[in-house]
Structure 1
Amino acid sequence: HTADSQDQRHRTVPGSRPLLSRTVPGAPDVIEPELIQSDPAAHRLFEDAIADQWQARTALLELGASPEVALYVLPNALTVRFEESGTLLDLLHKWTMRSCLNAQWEIWRASMDEIEQVRAVHPALMEHVGPPCVVRNGLARPRCTEGSHFCGVPVWRSFPEVERRI
């Protein structure tokens, strides 16, 4: 859900978003933040909270609430699955902006997944795709366009094999 909200900023890359009230699965389908995954106590708390939210949604539906109203108890971690398509130029812009380590985690992860999928089919086409520091490497200085917000990681040396740390 959060990544989809970020993704909609790239309006030149159309996507058919599903009607969320009609596509929420019966069982929890969420993206768990890495920091929570790495801590057993936080992970259990997260799982319990997600289960409670799904049960609350089910209870609301059983009480006669509309599917649209029942959505309000679900988390921002809800997975929204859809396909999008666009011109290579528009996708390149999105991937350049959103594969930077300074991008919000959710849209960064989604963009990296997209880059990996295209790279598997067209590796030569994707050789120079990545965040601004990868695109500008050897062509312009400074490599990073973030100025004082440079992440400190020399991503251009190993992209797409980068480890994002919080």
Structure 2
Amino acid sequence: MKVKLIAHTPDPDAIAGAAARSCRSRKPADEIIKEERPKLLRSLEVCVERGHESVIEHASFTFSVEGVSRACTHELVRHRIASYSQQSQRAVKLEKSYVVPPMVSKDKEAEKIFVTAMDAAWRDYLSLIERGIPVEDARYLLPNAATANIVVTMNARALMNFFKLRCCTHAQWEIRELAYEMLRLVKKVAPKIFEKAGPSCVMFGKCPENDESCPLYPKGGKRPELKKVA
């Protein structure tokens, strides 16, 4: 899996802060954004703490995601407040490339079964194409493990919801790995917006799954520190 942040709103924290201050000011945002940065960030913080999250929608982020499984992208596109452009199995004749789940790779016999199935799927896929079957029809043989590339654009509010759900230990392992990498990237360019981003336990100090066995389970109502759990 390779994830790159290829575009984003310039200075997302300042833009969102100016948007927040503009709601209670006679000045337009183009003047407000020239104010001292601490004022902008404080306005952003207060606004978000009070639940007025619309201000962070003004910041958007575009990612290039490479080498994730089709199983992962099927989960990803369920997040509807976003834009997606995915590599087409209909238009692209794919080379053999697939994701092996960690639980499979830990079991050598299971991995052997898995790899044999992948080899057979691609062998038959290519055989159909060689017989003149269109790529768009031959692709029906390809497994969920087949890799794909996808471009994803989300605004900051949509990303916060994405991180809340997909950084959770109850999320499927691959999309959780993707979520943590996306979070790492956006924190670099918008540290204030994503200061408290993460699963529900980190954001709100409570676990919607009520899973006390989770290493991140909040104890005593305290928010745990954000950390990636295998």
| Letter paired with 2:228 | E
Q: Which has the higher strand share?
A: 2
Q: Distance in 1 between matches of 2:164 and 2:213?
A: 18
- From the superposition, tell whether residues 23 and 121 of structure 1 become closer, same or farther in structure 2 (CA, over 3 Å): farther
- From the superposition, tell whether residues 82 and 132 of structure 1 become closer, same or farther in structure 2 (CA, over 3 Å): same
**1:144 maps to 2:207:** yes
**1:154 maps to 2:211:** no
**1:36 maps to 2:100:** no
- From the superposition, tell whether residues 24 and 77 of structure 1 become closer, same or farther in structure 2 (CA, over 3 Å): farther
Q: Distance in 2 between matches of 1:46 and 1:68?
A: 24
| Letter paired with 2:226 | F
Question: What RMSD in Å do the two structures reach over aligned CA positions?
Answer: 1.9
CA contact (8 A) 2:202 2:225 kept: no
Considering only CA atoms, is the larger Rg found in Structure 1 or Structure 2?
Answer: 2
Q: Distance in 2 between matches of 1:106 and 1:161?
A: 13
SS at match of 2:168: coil
- CA drift at 1:60: 0.4
SS at match of 2:153: coil
Give CA deviations for 1:61-89 in whole Å, capped at 9, x if unaligned: 00111111111111111112111111111
Q: Post-superposition, which runs of at least 4 consecutive aligned residues in structure 1 deviate over 3 A?
A: 119-127
SS at match of 2:151: coil
Q: How many residues align?
A: 155
**1:12 maps to 2:81:** yes
- CA drift at 1:113: 2.5
Q: Distance in 1 between matches of 2:189 and 2:111?
A: 35
- Aligned equivalent of 1:104: 172
> What TM-score results when the alignment is normalised by the length of structure 1?
0.83
- Aligned equivalent of 2:61: none
Gaps of 5+ in 2: 1-69, 217-222
Q: Distance in 1 between matches of 2:127 and 2:120?
A: 10
- CA drift at 1:132: 0.2
CA contact (8 A) 1:102 1:151 kept: no
Gaps of 5+ in 1: 138-142
- Aligned equivalent of 2:115: 47
- CA drift at 1:110: 2.2
Aligned-pair identity in percent equals 26
Give CA deviations for 1:112-156 in whole Å, capped at 9, x if unaligned: 22223323554554331111001013xxxxx10123xx2622326
- From the superposition, tell whether residues 151 and 111 of structure 1 become closer, same or farther in structure 2 (CA, over 3 Å): farther
Q: Distance in 2 between matches of 1:126 and 1:102?
A: 21
Q: Distance in 2 between matches of 1:159 and 1:101?
A: 12
> What TM-score results when the alignment is normalised by the length of structure 2?
0.61
- Aligned equivalent of 1:72: 140
- Aligned equivalent of 1:140: none
- CA drift at 1:7: 1.3
